[in-house]
Structure 1
């Protein structure tokens, strides 16, 4: 009975699929073109006019420029020019890191407290061009900084035949890092997780700013702030309003 009902009625509830209607099976003649609609030539002209009026907005150019230092001196490069350089993080040669934490050289050849600044100096001594970036490794987020090293030329030739692979580069950096660490210290301009509160206060005083310790002492909301001994300061009492009596004459 349900099938008969489908055959006799055109209720859309019973239609499982929309039937495709072939216009060639219609009895009435088809018009040459739909009234009120432009032909293909007119449609193409309309599309060309729309495309000329609405040009796509050009993407902004990346003006970020990095400084690369090497045997050729100082060069200014865009990120596209050194995107294929080898990336080296401090954790690659950190003696306190395990292989799961990012160390890529043998522990006996690793370095204590490596910093990207010293790594950049070591790379220059090895005869490579280097770019310092303020990036961090996801497994070593506290140690900020990494270096990008040009291991090969643009035509894929090794700059230093004795250092032709990434592992050889990591080992060479770790080998001369202790010498670099003794001869130079990390400038205060570089972000370092090892900087102490005293060094921060010295930098602030040199800039004419109050020390962080003084700011904490004078802040009553900070722990131990306010009065000496950590006692919270008592807010001053509000002045009482004086009552004025009016006497009738």
Structure 2
């Protein structure tokens, strides 16, 4: 159930941190399905662990929650996860001058996640498997003579 607005909460309280779902930067999703950025700035199937690692490396305070976006159709664990990030200090100034808004943070995630070592390892293995499947000839067992 939604909690009513409370003036006593400050920007440093976890409830005031912004929420980011992996769906927001997933290039496989449409805008209607919840994607927030243009496809050129998005990543293919990002996970909340990758997002968490990038944001912690950027020096931000991050929290992970086991939540699922309402527009996410798949209930698999791969798509679960919500990241909470503190963007502002108690006085309203940005925690990091590099990330004054949610959009600047999403753009950073979209450009940084493809450069992760985990991602680069996955790309090379998927490229190798696609090359092997294209070079191998299909040997079918058709109906033999009767």
Q: Which has the larger radius of gyration?
A: 1
Aligned position for 2:107: 171
Q: Distance in 1 between matches of 2:24 and 2:31?
A: 9
**Structure 1 length as normaliser, TM-score?**
0.40
Aligned position for 2:35: 103
CA displacement, residues 161-185 of structure 1 (integer Å, 9 cap, x when unaligned): 1210111111111111112362699
The answer as to whether partners of 2:26 and 2:42 remain within 8 angstroms in 1 is yes
C-alpha displacement of 1:111: 0.3
Aligned position for 1:126: 58
Q: Distance in 2 between matches of 1:165 and 1:131?
A: 18
- Residue segments in structure 1 that go unaligned for 5+ positions in a row: 1-79, 186-249
Aligned residue among 144, 151, 171 for 2:87: 151
Which runs of at least 4 in structure 1 moved beyond 3 Å after TM superposition? none
- How many pairs are equivalent? 106
C-alpha displacement of 1:141: 4.6
Q: Distance in 2 between matches of 1:129 and 1:171?
A: 18
- Over the residues paired in the alignment, what is the CA RMSD in angstroms? 2.0
The answer as to whether partners of 2:25 and 2:106 remain within 8 angstroms in 1 is yes
CA displacement, residues 79-131 of structure 1 (integer Å, 9 cap, x when unaligned): x9200101000010000001111111110011011101111111112221000
- Residue segments in structure 2 that go unaligned for 5+ positions in a row: 1-11, 122-146
Structure of greater relative contact order (alpha carbons < 8 Å, 6+ residues apart): 2
Q: Distance in 2 between matches of 1:134 and 1:184?
A: 26
1:82 to 2:25 alignment: no
C-alpha displacement of 1:145: 0.5
